[in-house]
A and B are shown apart, each in its own frame.
Chain A
Amino acid sequence: MRQLPWFPWVSLAARLVLGGVMLVAGALKVTDPETAAQAVRAYELLPESLAAPVGWGLPFLEIAIGLLLIVGFGVRASAAAAGVFLIVFIAAVSSAWARGLSIDCGCFGGGGQVAPGQTKYLQEILRDVGLLLLAGWLWLSPASKFAVAPEANAESQTPTGVPAS
């Protein structure tokens, strides 16, 4: 990808938006682990022994990734981790939609059953796809303004990004 002078500014914006959303989403859930676990259970995808730990642990990971992106450290790897999460979220919401469940995604706290007319699957998926595009941009173009650990772009760097999963 040819680098243009304004790319680092776009990367900065992408970092702040993606990181900000991850941070807020994590922070809103981290204080209410029972509700977060219930939101995971509502997807009916994981057995109980996994649903609760996922509900409790996910917010912490979201906060960590959000902070890494906002301060600009390990942007490429953090964007990869965020991307993995977003793909999982999109798959989970799509599957809930396809199975005809009536749940809130619980992305920003809350979650669980909602009235059949109250689902917002399309908005939730579009939002996550938009964020996934930002993550993809950062993977390709992690060099950005005001990062604590300036990072070179993909070509000049051996692939060190470890996609945390």
Chain B
Amino acid sequence: MSSTRTPANPLLQPNKPRISPGIVVVIVLVLALAAGVGVQYYRGHSKVEVSSNGRAEPAVITAPGASGKGVTVGKAGAKAHIDLYLDFRCPHCAEFEEATGATVDKLVQDGTATLTYWPLQFVNPDASPRLANAFAAAAANGKALSYADEMYGDFSKSWTTDQLIELGKQLGVGDATFQQAVQDNTYAGWLESVTKAADDRGVTGTPTVYVNDKQLPADQMTPEGLQKAVDAIAS
């Protein structure tokens, strides 16, 4: 916030009536906008730092690419199935991930539930498809959960193509095929089939969660609510 210091300037020259305050106000506002542009640039060029490299990665059961099917991770044979409809640029999804991520991880980890990602791409038409495609490319290499977590974990980052590729490299999946897939938007067709499947199911927003085909009500979109819904099936 470099703009915070700007209004103090006139203190240095208190008696210069020739410059009208109106002009200075306009200049301050332009500087504030410049600060905004600077931050925007930073968001697109800031370094990618993987926050949780040590966390366990569940196996990918269903890889991206199968038309109309999400990406499923976990242990085959789990009784509970969690369907998560998400958009990587949806603020509520980032909040949901932050609140329930640990609970979901645990359920998937101990084989209680499988988790199916249904990446939608409507929230930010400029960015959501790019992030969803990169997620698919990472999932194809077995890194679905980490890749999703990292993108949500640094939600304010722009996640440009370069940043997405860098994230892939840091997670150990950034080979040439991955880079090609990110650059060429390889999974666009599959993502469209996912969107269609979501529409057919009546999903109208993100995040939307189903536990064994029963939609989790809005007031149950909490770690406790999710745990309870899974417990009801697993026990």
Interface residues of A (CB under 8 A from B): 30-35, 37-38, 41, 48, 52, 56-57, 59-61, 63-65, 67-68, 71, 73-78, 81, 110, 112-113, 115, 148-149, 151, 160-162, 164
Contact = CB atoms under 8 A, between A and B. Distances in A.
Given A38-B124, A60-B32, A73-B21, 6 more contacts: A33-B40, A34-B91, A63-B4, A64-B28, A73-B25, A113-B205
Interface string B1-38: 10110111011001000001111111011011101110
Interface string B144-178: 00000000000110000000000000000000000
Given A34-B156, A52-B126, A112 B91 contact: yes
Contacts of A67: 3-4, 6-7
Which 4 A/B pairs are nearest by Cβ-Cβ distance? Answer: A74-B21, A64-B32, A74-B25, A77-B22
A164 B25 contact: yes
A159 to B, nearest CB: 9
B167 to A, nearest CB: 16
A77 B25 contact: yes
A117 to B, nearest CB: 12
B40 A56 contact: yes
Contacts of A64: 3, 6-7, 28-29, 31-32
Contacts of B20: 160, 162
A63 B7 CA distance: 11
A162 to B, nearest CB: 4
A145 to B, nearest CB: 17
A63 B3 contact: yes
17 contacts: A30-B39, A34-B89, A52-B124, A63-B3, A63-B32, A65-B29, A68-B7, A73-B7, A73-B24, A74-B24, A74-B25, A76-B21, A76-B22, A77-B22, A110-B91, A112-B92, A149-B10
Nearest to B2: A60
A59 B22 CA distance: 20
Contacts of B32: 60-61, 63-64
Interface in B31-77: 31-33, 35-37, 39-40, 43
Contact of B11 (A31, A48, A148): A148
B10 A33 contact: no
Contacts of B6: 64, 67
A59 B32 CA distance: 9
B36 A31 contact: no
Of listed A31, A32, A59, A68, residue having the most chain B CB within 10 A: A68
A74 B22 contact: yes
Contact of A77 (B11, B26, B156): B26
A68 B6 CA distance: 9
Given A74-B22, A112-B92, A115-B218, A37 B124 contact: yes
Contacts of A160: 20-23
A22 to B, nearest CB: 11
A3 B157 CA distance: 51
A63 B28 CA distance: 11
A161 B24 CA distance: 10
A161 B22 contact: yes
A34 B43 CA distance: 11
B15 to A, nearest CB: 10
A35 B6 CA distance: 27
